[in-house]
C-alpha cells in the first residue's frame, strides 16, 4: 500500500480536518510540519504540480492575509512571488526560509499532490484504496 505524507501547520483547521479524514478512513500517512520541510521536499513538490513552486503559494496577498492575519506583513512576499518577477530557484529559497507562505495542507504520495483541503479530490483519489480489509466505495 502506498504511504502518504501530510504536510501542514498545527492549528490550521484545513490541516486538522484532512488529518482526521485520513485517520477516519484508515489511510496510512505520516504527518509532517511544513516548518520541517527540506529544500529537496519542497523542490519535489514543486516539480509535481503545474506552475511549479509558485503553485504552492497563496494566489495573492489578500487571500494570504485573510488566512494568516497574524502574518499580514508577509503578503508583500506573496505578491512578489505571484508577480512572476522571481525565478523558480528564488521562490524555492523563499519557501525554505518561510514555509508558512505555502497553502496547507499538502498531501502527497511521491507522485500525486493535493494542495489544500479538497474533499472531492480525496474521495476520488482514495475511492478504491483497500484499507483495513475493506474497500471504500
> Residue 129: what pLDDT?
67
Whether 131 shows a pLDDT value over 60: the answer reads no
> Residue 137: what pLDDT?
47
Q: What is the DSSP string of 39-62?
A: HHHHHHHHHHSTTGGGGGB-SSHH
C-alpha angle 42/43/49, rounded to 5°?
Answer: 90
Burial 65-85 (b: 16+ CB within 10 A, else e): beebeeeeebbebbeebbeee
Higher pLDDT, 128 or 20: 20
- Tell me the sheet residues that pair with 30: 5
Whether 130 shows a pLDDT value over 70: the answer reads no
> Residue 83: what pLDDT?
94
> Residue 127: what pLDDT?
83
Instruction: Kindly state the average pLDDT of the residues 83-106.
Output: 95
Domains defined for the chain, CATH in brackets: 4-135 (3.40.30.10)
Whether 56 shows a pLDDT value over 70: the answer reads yes
Average pLDDT value over all residues in the chain? 89
CA distances from 22 to 12, 114, 126 (A): 16, 13, 10
Q: Could you tell me which of 25, 24, 41 has the C-alpha nearest to residue 33?
A: 41
Q: Is 92 helix (H, G, I), strand (E, B) or coil?
A: helix
- pLDDT band for 57, please (50, 70, 90 cuts): very high
Amino acid at each position: 500500500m502506498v504511504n502518504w505524507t501530510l504536510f501542514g501547520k498545527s492549528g490550521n483547521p484545513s490541516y486538522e480536518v484532512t488529518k482526521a479524514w485520513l485517520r477516519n478512513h484508515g489511510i496510512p500517512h505520516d504527518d509532517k510540519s511544513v516548518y520541517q520541510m527540506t529544500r529537496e521536499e519542497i523542490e519535489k513538490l514543486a516539480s509535481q504540480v503545474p506552475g511549479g513552486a509558485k503553485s504552492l503559494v497563496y494566489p495573492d496577498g489578500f487571500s494570504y492575509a485573510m488566512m494568516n492575519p497574524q502574518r499580514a506583513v508577509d503578503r508583500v512576499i506573496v505578491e512578489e512571488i505571484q508577480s512572476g518577477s522571481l525565478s523558480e530557484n528564488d521562490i524555492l529559497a523563499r519557501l525554505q526560509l518561510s514555509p508558512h507562505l505555502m497553502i496547507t495542507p499538502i498531501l502527497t504520495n511521491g507522485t500525486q499532490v493535493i494542495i489544500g483541503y479538497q474533499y472531492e479530490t480525496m474521495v476520488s483519489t482514495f475511492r478504491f484504496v483497500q484499507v483495513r480489509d475493506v474497500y471504500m466505495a
